[in-house]
Chains A and B, each alone.
Chain A
């Protein structure tokens, strides 16, 4: 038994693929692609972590290594003290996986049949299975759907069904790959609410990849950003703004057209359109002093603050990293 320092532990984990590209008839060029490049992080039991990055950044590859689907090329990886690639089947009992775009439910059979298969495949004790199923049906509002063939479910219903299927065997960690993709607003909020509840109630560790930053904002205290196989940021969501040196924008409506407002640095006017002016200021700072100053010196009618778009923040982070790498 190893000392439990982190529930999920990665130390210098790498994954190198060899890609063969056809460059002509019978000619192939071999190239090494470093999908994951020396990533290290720890996730404690019961944490809820967002894992984000652009397509092809290495998110899925990391998840596949954490679930034992792929074997790392180098580094050390442990989930609940288990080396996933060496003991894939033993680990399977302790993890739940939801692939957003691929259902694991049985298309032509009633939803309940898929759960019965899980019951037997994972050898879940009967009493446990019934208790878990009842609770999941209640939380995910699946009562009326159990006898409906999966092919007749809506996308949102199916996603809820898939999440329940992944939790019947009481996994200690739940990996979600794009759990809200393609869902409507109501379904999205249902899924998020449920994840919060599961995390609070059972202490399930949750690691989710997503393109929807609202998922992260509403669920995760901690976020990890990956790009080009490297971990670019690991910390609280708020800190991501600072790391990206992002700015908030104060939109000011004045009584009449005036020359650009003389704001104290680093705040500055970035745009003027008639009586409306846009002022950018660091996201980490309070807007209050700036608002007070403008209200005191200018004929103010209305104002609003625009929060930075996290996607833009991440894009900026990427750009800076690339610049640094070039120079």
Chain B
């Protein structure tokens, strides 16, 4: 019950602080509009790259354009949500170096909520928008015999995927407590992870696929459930129920990330660095 109280308190604090950042960014309206457009353009161009590739080839690792678009849309949307909610956690290291992290520790609200809401930016909606558009196009174009189960699996994938990416952001933040200049390591897993997942698993080596399936379970964001939806084989042998394992995998990731964060914070408070 106490845990639940902290969670609610955290969500409330998150909304308060995120609201302040939104208001702050509105102080420079023109700059805000320009960055939103810039962000939309850059993310749109990202998918144009894949379109250009398909203008030269008919398939990628045996996957058609709508199938790759499905992977892309799922990964980009999930990542976009996590990026919107927790995307600024990479400033944590800088906050520790300049000492402003201490000011968060004297507030009566959970530190994770404060760090998560830090530099909250609505311009990140661009990525979600682009991901949703690609996903929508893929869903109507892809050649799938839709069943109720498969239809239900789509929103489940987006939500679980967002939770998995969020866990990676939080774990990365916990890691930054130990290595304060490690923001780029975190970015490698988050931004790197989403780029990886935008391509079919069949184009990668088996070891890499195994790694992101069993070690850092990013494959459960889209690969594993999507191969089920598309009726394709998965490069690494997995039981049939694995397609529906994304929610429990996401929950496990969040619990582990939460523990890592707690350990990191405790260590900071005992070492001061």
Q: A80-111 interface mask toward B, CB cutoff 8 Å, 1 = contact, 0 = none? A: 00000100111011010101001010111100
Please state if A113 and B269 are interface contacts (CB–CB under 8 Å).
Answer: no
Q: How many interface residues does A have (CB within 8 Å)?
A: 31
Interface size, B (range)? 20 to 34
Give the Cβ gap from B259 to chain A, nearest Cβ, in Å.
18
Residue from the list A85, A99, A122 in contact with B269, Cβ < 8 A: A85
Q: Among the listed B24, B106, B107, which residue makes an inter-chain contact with A106, where contact means beta carbons less than 8 Å apart?
A: B24
B55 within 8 A of A: no
Question: Please, which residue of chain A has its CB at the minimum distance from the CB of B109?
Answer: A121
Are the CB atoms of B271 and A67 closer together than 8 Å? no
User: Taking A92-B108, A121-B109, A149-B27 as contacts, is the C-beta distance between A70 and B20 under 8 angstroms?
Assistant: no
Whether the pair A92, B272 counts as a contact (CB closer than 8 A) is no
Pair A108/B272 contact, Cβ less than 8 Å: no
Complex contact A88–B24 (CB within 8 A): no
Docked-complex contact B102 and A109, CB < 8 angstroms: no
8 A Cβ contacts from B1-27 to A? 13, 16-17, 20, 23-24, 27
- Does A277 sit within 8 A of B, measured CB to CB? no
Are B100 and A102 neighbours in the complex by a CB distance under 8 Å? yes
Instruction: Output the nearest chain A residue to B102 by Cβ-Cβ distance.
Output: A69
Residues of B within 8 A of A149 (CB): 27
Contact of A18 among B13, B103, B271 (CB under 8 A): B271
Task: Please indicate the chain A residues that have their CB under 8 angstroms from the CB of B270 in the complex.
Answer: 70-71, 73
* Given known A-B contacts A102-B100, A121-B13, A69 and B106 have beta carbons under 8 A apart: yes
Is B99's CB within 8 Å of the partner chain A?
yes
A residues in contact with B105, CB < 8 Å: 67-69, 88
Grouping DSSP codes into helix (H, G, I), strand (E, B) and loop, the B interface class, with mixed when no group exceeds half, is helix
Contact check, B272 vs A109: say whether CB atoms are below 8 A apart: no
Report the separation of the CA atoms of residues A68 and B111 in the bound assembly, to the nearest whole angstrom.
Answer: 13
A92 to B99, CA, bound (A): 18
A64 within 8 Å of B (CB atoms): yes
Contact: B106 with A108, CB < 8 Å? no
CB distance from A146 to the nearest CB of B (A): 15
A206 to chain B, nearest CB (A): 16
Set of chain A residues within 8 Å of B98, measured between Cβ atoms: 102
Smallest beta-carbon distance B248→chain A, Å:
31
In the complex, residue of chain A having the shortest beta-carbon distance to the beta carbon of B107: A92
| Distance (whole angstroms) from the CB of B113 to the closest CB of chain A | 10
Nearest CB on B from A229, distance (A)? 13
B102, A93: Cβ atoms under 8 Å? no
Once the chains bind, are B24 and A17 in contact (CB under 8 Å)? Answer: no
Residues in chain B near residue A210, CB distance under 8 A: none
Closest B residue to A97 by beta carbon equals B106
A61 close to chain B: CB less than 8 A: yes
Least distance between B8 CB and chain A CB atoms (Å): 13
Task: Across the interface, name the chain A residue whose C-beta is closest to B21.
Answer: A106
Is residue A117 contacting chain B, with contact meaning CB distance below 8 A? yes
A109/B100 in contact, CB under 8 A: no
Asked whether B108 lies within 8 Å of A122 as measured between CB atoms, the reply is yes
Residue among A18, A107, A117 facing the most chain B CB atoms (10 A cut-off): A117
Q: In the complex, what's the smallest C-beta–C-beta distance from B2 to chain A, in angstroms?
A: 12
| Chain A stretch 97-144: residues in CB contact (< 8 A) with chain B | 97, 99, 102, 104, 106-109, 113, 117, 120-122
Q: Which of B20, B108, B269 has the most CB of A within 10 A?
A: B108
Closest to B98 in A: A102
Q: In the complex where A68-B106, A121-B108 touch, is A113 in contact with B271 (Cβ < 8 A)?
A: no
Give the nearest-CB partner of A122 in chain B.
B108
Among candidates B20, B24, B109, B272, residue contacting A89 with C-beta atoms closer than 8 Å: B109
Q: Evaluate contact between B109 and A70: CB separation under 8 angstroms.
A: no
Please determine whether A121 and B107 come into contact, CB atoms closer than 8 angstroms.
yes
Known: A17-B272, A99-B102. A109 touches B20 (CB 8 A): yes
Chain A residues within 8 Å of B108, by CB? 89-90, 92-93, 121-122
Residues of A within 8 A of B107 (CB): 89, 92, 121
Interface centre among A18, A68, A71, by most chain B C-beta atoms within 10 angstroms, is: A71
Query: When the two chains form their complex, are residues B103 and A70 in contact, meaning their CB atoms are under 8 A apart?
Result: no
Which of B24, B103, B271, B272 lies in contact with A107, CB distance below 8 A?
B24
Cα A121 to Cα B27 in complex, Å, equals 22
> Given A99-B103, A102-B100, A102-B103, do A70 and B272 touch, yes or no (CB 8 Å)?
yes
Given contacts A88-B106, A117-B16, A117-B20, 16 further A-B contacts (CB under 8 A): A68-B105, A71-B269, A73-B270, A88-B105, A89-B107, A90-B108, A92-B107, A95-B106, A97-B106, A99-B103, A102-B99, A108-B24, A109-B20, A109-B24, A109-B27, A120-B16
Residue ranges of A at the interface with B (Cβ–Cβ < 8 Å): 17-18, 61, 64, 67-71, 73, 85, 88-90, 92-93, 95, 97, 99, 102, 104, 106-109, 113, 117, 120-122, 149
12 residue pairs bridging A and B, Cβ less than 8 Å apart? A18-B271, A61-B272, A89-B109, A90-B108, A92-B106, A92-B108, A97-B103, A99-B102, A108-B28, A109-B24, A109-B27, A117-B17
